[in-house]
Amino acid sequence: MLARPRRNRVSDTIREMVKETTLRTSNLIYPLFLVDGEQIKSEVKSLPGNYRWSLDLLIPEIQECINLGLNSFILFPSVDDSFKNSTATYSYNDKNFYLNAIRVIKENYPNICLISDVAMDPYSSDGHDGFVRDGEILNDETLPILGKMAVAQAEAGIDIVGPSDMMDGRVEFIRKELDEEGFKNVGIMSYTAKYASAFYGPFRDALDSAPKEGDKKTYQMNPSNSLEAVREAQLDESEGADYLMVKPALNYLDIIQLLKQNSNLPVAAYHVSGECAMLTAACENGWLEYEKAMPETLLSIKRAGADIILTYFAKDYAKLLKEGKITL
């Protein structure tokens, strides 16, 4: 007998009925760039449609996102060089504008989920995620700095800390520090499989956080490896991570699926700046249709196994959903 799978595609209603993957705004986290000052909305030229915000303008932007159904945000600071040093002490200074922003945002919107970035590179004069001495990124010496940073963010009101540094043992160290300070309900979204990728350029432009010397290949993962990601996931889970992240997303759909198959923890995927910029450029040149290509791209990440997607397209996706141009 001739098999006819096309019978399940004959109408919109039937196609919707048998649809296997859906992507809701509750699955999305919107990355936001923060700068010190007032009345600042500065576009990141290499990532069109995304801005460095001062807090006073970021507050209404978050409200606009909430009105669209977005309730989860990850916050990244763009720090002036005058506050940077080799040990990133400004990261846990009580006068840090980033910590103040966390307090103010959570006071205004207590029900949103706010996620932080835990790594030295925004605050380091070396531009690396860890402490540098004589050209070497020192793992164990970095951990206390990350611990202080995470605790300071928890004190400010953060819901989930996001260690993006890829230092060995940092999840266990941060979990212990948070628990000892009474922050047992603050979650850890670990950047579990963060690859040494060529797709981070616009993000580093936004934060001016590129390494001053060398690269990040001694701590970020080799793009050739997949089993290493499973090992990292097992370690993070055993150390107390609440979420596992794969970064980037599109070139690592196989890694997303691999972690989903090998862990019961929620898997997040970071649809990174270069991936978003690439699609935006193609659409601006008329080579692709944004309102179709963008949702299809995000759906592919969800279909691969991601429970959560961090993407610079989150707001645009929410708009299309509200306008009825996307169906769940």
- The predicted pLDDT at position 37 comes to 97
Instruction: Categorize the per-residue pLDDT at 152 as very low, low, confident or very high, splitting at 50, 70 and 90.
Output: very high
- The predicted pLDDT at position 63 comes to 98
Share of the chain above pLDDT 90, in %: 89
d(CA 108, CA 110): 6
Helix, strand, coil percentages for the chain (3-state, nearest 5): 45, 20, 40
Cβ neighbours, 10 Å, residue 285: 8
Nearest residue to 79 via CA among 139, 130, 30, 119 = 119
Which residues are the active-site residues?
A: 194, 247
- The predicted pLDDT at position 173 comes to 98
Q: Give the amino acid at 33.
A: F
Q: How much is the mean pLDDT over the chain?
A: 95
**Residues 302, 228, 201, 123, Cα dihedral to 10°:** 110
Three-state secondary structure string covering 75-108 = EEEECCHHHCECCCHHHHCCCCHHHHHHHHHHHH
pTM value is: 0.96
> What is the average per-residue pLDDT within 218-243?
97
**Distance linking the first and last C-alpha atoms of the chain:** 34
**Window from 51-55, 170-174, 208-212, 226-230 with minimum mean pLDDT:** 208-212
- The predicted pLDDT at position 211 comes to 80
- The predicted pLDDT at position 126 comes to 87
DSSP letter (8 states) at residue 222: P
Q: Which residues of 297-322 are buried (b: 16+ CB within 10 A; e: fewer)?
A: bbbbbbebbbebbbbbbbbbbbbbbe
**For residues 165 and 214, which has the higher predicted lDDT (pLDDT)?**
165
23-322 classified as CATH 3.20.20.70:
yes
- The predicted pLDDT at position 324 comes to 93
pLDDT at 328 over 80: no
- The predicted pLDDT at position 229 comes to 98
- The predicted pLDDT at position 205 comes to 87
- The predicted pLDDT at position 10 comes to 95
Domain ranges of the chain: 23-322
In this predicted model, what pLDDT tens digit does every residue of 254-297 receive, in sequence order? 999 999 999 999 999 999 999 999 999 999 999 999 999 999 99
